[in-house]
Chains A and B, each alone.
Chain A
Amino acid sequence: MDDRKVRNIGVSAHIDSGKTTLTERILFYTKRIHAIHDVKGKDGVGATMDSMELEKERGITIASAATFCEWGGHEINIIDTPGHVDFTVEVERSLRVLDGAVLVLCSVGGVQSQSITVDQQMKRYKVPCVAFINKCDRSGADPYRVIDQLRAKLGHNAVAIQIPIGLENNFQGIIDLVSMKAVYFDGENGENVRIEEIPGALTQEAIAKREELIDAASMFSDELTEAILEEREIPEELLTNALRSGTLTRKITPVLMGSAYKNKGVQPLLDAVTQLLPCPSDMKNEALDTDNNEKPVILSSSAEDPAVALAFKLEDGAYGQLTYIRVYQGSIAKGSTIVNARTGKKVKVGRVVRMHADQMEDMEAIPAGYIGALFGIDCASGDTFTSPGTTLTMSSMFVADPVISLSITPKDNKSQINMSKALNRFTKEDPTFKTYVDGETKETIIEGMGELHLEIYVERMRREYDAEVETGNPRVAYRETITRKAEFNYTHKKQTGGSGQYGRIAGYMEPITEEEFEFVNKITGGAIPTQFIPACEKGFYACMAKGPRMEFPVTGVRVLINDGAAHSVDSSEMAFQAAARGAFREAYAKAKAVIHEPVMKVVVETPTEFQGPVMGLLNQRRGMIVGAQDDGPMCVIEAQAPLAEMFGFSTVLRSATQGQAQFTMEFALYKLVPQSIAEELAEKAAKAKKGI
């Protein structure tokens, strides 16, 4: 197989810009599906990519299915990425396995706040992209404004390689500025592409826009520059090659347009994907060598070398767990043995398949650069698989700590069993989703990155696993930390018949910022016998889980012990653990403990007339407004607000702005809780204690 004919692309965009519809059309034109269903279709079938029932109902894509199709002799793997900000882990994980992306933008909505987040992620993983301005048939469509926004808001060097023939209701087709031809889409589903000369009225505009395009592309090809200077006719291929090298380095973003819903402009987009986006060997992929201090190693993308593959997505199919993998180096064949780099476990590969949303196709092997799926392999998403003897691992992805938690209680016995199945699956799929059982209340707690994030999982539990659960009130993940150094000198002594307990520990604790917990042993002369030191550390560490003040987890503490005493008979590991706990409490009381709360970065997009009220709303919620960006009819307000105050914000925002504002929220940092709020929390904690 020739990997230059392979494209692994993602379709990435703001929610509702028509990403799923576009993917659907691509699958139709590449003859992977034979009928078109719409998102929220009346026929109740739904678009093929959204395989989850919940997604079908809400019209949004939650999980990113990988699907395969062919166009013009090229094999294209499409990863449908989730559009909502609460699922950014899935988006980021998908971006990791892509070589290129199609950034879909709505010609009316333009660059919205979510597009900015997605774009930042693409920048982080250096994913080259082409932009597709969708919905050119909608009223208010203005692709040129969107191009300006791409430049101004996202900093892309966006250049149109097409211009529309008519807009809004009158949108008929596009003019390809590379070939200088008009392209129309005939037939019931736009499957017949008709190429004609450019209509007279648009000739001038097309020529002008082509000049701009050539000008921008000439930066990336000396040959093209020469041709311009000599005023020669510019061959299509030369221009395409120049555009391609600009695109690969992310220095240029070619912009295409159309309307997926009206079946216009999709085939030229596929052409652009094959012509302009990179093949796997164009991209450099790095792995970390665990034997060599995690030094980055560049992977060869040759099928002969030892295999390295990343499991980026798990799915529960009818035949067990399906693991989507991207092979970076070597190949993974049926019957071969691979090693999970995280656990070190060897696994034998059973079936190897290639996915098309819900259907699959068996394969002999997945070579480097390809995306496929394995059956019956137990792993978590983000795991690396390698050939035995290789010590490489794909770098672990950045995963934030959860900021919100919710207690869930199953309604009946059947739900109980299903719930644990579901939780087991979800935690494997999504590293930001965590679950544990509270030791005191015996409740199951789920943790995640936001209100909606948890809501979706509760919904999925109900729908996919038939587990009815009752949820408690969402709780914010507060933290405690100390602000100054405090000394301790604690003796644990018990003599109540039998062998007693004795241990004395002295030293101090102090705040640190780099780590959550650090234990330093500065005992000299064996004041505490060496065998008891680990017990001391364990005792201190155990206290970190629940702060003595408000029972929130404690972070940022360094404990140093420098003196102590032991008894030849009465000292034991247990005694020193108890002594450590006592010492922690003693010092903690003096160390000026404070509470930190998660603060979210909130970005609100609102029509300018509501700017004042929105700022007021944010201000009421202890939000600190960072800035307001005036952008014609819309404005963007950026603020930092504590998560605790943001529950139900979407409803309040909607009612204050006649439903015209939208907002995104992501975790920013932990910040000190103001005194008054801290007192409130203390009161609540005290009440809760009494209640038990």
Chain B
Amino acid sequence: MLKKDLITRHPLGLQGDETDVISSGEFGAVLSRAGVGKTAFLVQLALNAMLRDKNVLHISLSDPVDKITLWYKELFNHLAQRYAFEQAGQLWESLLPHRFIMTFRVAGFSVPRLKERLADLTGQDIFHPDMVIIDGLKFNESARECLADLKKLAEEQSFHAWFSVHTHRHEETSSDSIPLPLLDVEDLFDIALQLQPVGTDIHVKPLKGPSKVISGLSPLVLDAASMLIK
């Protein structure tokens, strides 16, 4: 198994398509209830990007750095094991420079602050993100302003961003519409995927997105144990 083959195992099952699902300046969202696997899913998207030599900035508002590193390590090991990739250790080492983890406390996170941190990194030529993952941002009334600012930043710095969106059981409306937390800011997102536990599996249900992605997506099922695509 070569690195190239590993890349094509895209978490969204996009065969042979090596470009990102969304391009710079665009936003993607992964929605689910607590504990279904938003972070795991996002980390897989990140790993895939890292395999393609893209730089991923992972911003977490809930977990400490150690825990996030563990997520990456675990999922990478699962991936390498599943596809019997031989020189996993070396590949892992080569991936690490493509990742940067930043954690904030929920209250301490703001776009100007992130901008400052980013300037620290890009200004000294330490790290230039191609993809940003924001895990744990609260989608409440004030989210719109924050997201709009982020969008501007994403366009300036030319990265695309993926968000995790926490939904609540009692807020679930009819099964086809966009869940409540995202409803308000839906226009800012170019793709939205919902993770739904069905029995022991987890189904990925596209809520909105470009047609080529949606069509390629239809039968996506995640293995609940490893969180990899079945």
The residues of A with any CB-CB pair to B shorter than 8 Å are 152-153, 513, 611-612, 615-616, 619, 624-632, 636, 638, 671-672
Q: Is the CB of B100 within 8 A of A619?
A: no
Q: Is B153 an interface residue (CB 8 A)?
A: no
Residue in contact with B126 in the complex, picked from A153, A615, A636, CB distance below 8 Å: A615
Can you add 14 more A-B contacts, CB < 8 Å, to A612-B123, A615-B124, A629-B65?
Answer: A152-B64, A612-B120, A616-B126, A619-B126, A627-B100, A628-B65, A628-B103, A630-B105, A630-B109, A630-B117, A631-B105, A632-B105, A632-B108, A671-B93
Q: Is the CB of B123 within 8 A of A626?
A: no
Which chain A residue has the least Cβ–Cβ distance from B101?
A627
Q: Is B121 an interface residue (CB 8 A)?
A: yes
- A611-B117, A612-B124, A619-B126 in contact; A627/B65 too (CB < 8 A)? yes
**What chain B residues lie within 8 Å of A628 (beta carbons)?**
65, 100-103, 117
Once the chains are docked, how many angstroms separate the CA of A625 from the CA of B129?
14
Over the window 66-108 of chain B, the binary record of Cβ atoms lying under 8 Å from chain A Cβ atoms (1 yes, 0 no) is: 0011000000000000000000010001001101111111001
A selection of 23 A-B contacts at a CB cut-off of 8 Å is A513-B89, A611-B117, A612-B119, A612-B120, A615-B121, A616-B124, A619-B126, A625-B127, A626-B65, A626-B96, A626-B100, A626-B101, A627-B68, A627-B69, A627-B100, A628-B103, A629-B103, A630-B103, A630-B104, A630-B109, A630-B113, A632-B105, A636-B65
Q: Is the CB of B103 within 8 A of A627?
A: yes
Q: Is the CB of B101 within 8 A of A624?
A: no
Which chain B residue has the least Cβ–Cβ distance from A619?
B126
Once the chains are docked, how many angstroms separate the CA of A61 from the CA of B216?
64
**What chain A residues lie within 8 Å of B101 (beta carbons)?**
626-628
**What chain A residues lie within 8 Å of B89 (beta carbons)?**
513
Q: Is the CB of A153 within 8 A of B105?
A: no
Q: How far is the CB of B137 from chain A (nearest CB, A)?
A: 14
Which chain A residue has the least Cβ–Cβ distance from B99?
A626
A-B residue pairs, 10 tightest by C-beta: A627-B101, A612-B120, A627-B65, A630-B104, A629-B103, A616-B124, A619-B126, A628-B102, A629-B65, A638-B65
The residues of B with any CB-CB pair to A shorter than 8 Å are 58, 64-65, 68-69, 89, 93, 96-97, 99-105, 108-109, 113, 117, 119-121, 123-127
Q: Is the CB of A615 within 8 A of B69?
A: no
Q: Is the CB of B69 within 8 A of A626?
A: yes
Which chain B residue has the least Cβ–Cβ distance from A614?
B120
**What chain A residues lie within 8 Å of B124 (beta carbons)?**
612, 615-616, 619
Which chain A residue has the least Cβ–Cβ distance from B108?
A630
Max chain A C-beta neighbours (<10 A), residue from B64, B97, B109, B119: B64
**What chain B residues lie within 8 Å of A630 (beta carbons)?**
102-105, 108-109, 113, 117
Q: How far is the CB of A144 from chain B (nearest CB, A)?
A: 16
**What chain A residues lie within 8 Å of B127 (beta carbons)?**
625
Q: How far is the CB of B45 from chain A (nearest CB, A)?
A: 18
Once the chains are docked, how many angstroms separate the CA of A153 from the CA of B67?
11
- A616-B126, A630-B104 in contact; A153/B64 too (CB < 8 A)? yes
- A153-B64, A513-B89, A615-B120 in contact; A625/B105 too (CB < 8 A)? no
**What chain B residues lie within 8 Å of A611 (beta carbons)?**
117, 120
Q: How far is the CB of B196 from chain A (nearest CB, A)?
A: 30
Q: How far is the CB of B130 from chain A (nearest CB, A)?
A: 17
**What chain A residues lie within 8 Å of B121 (beta carbons)?**
615
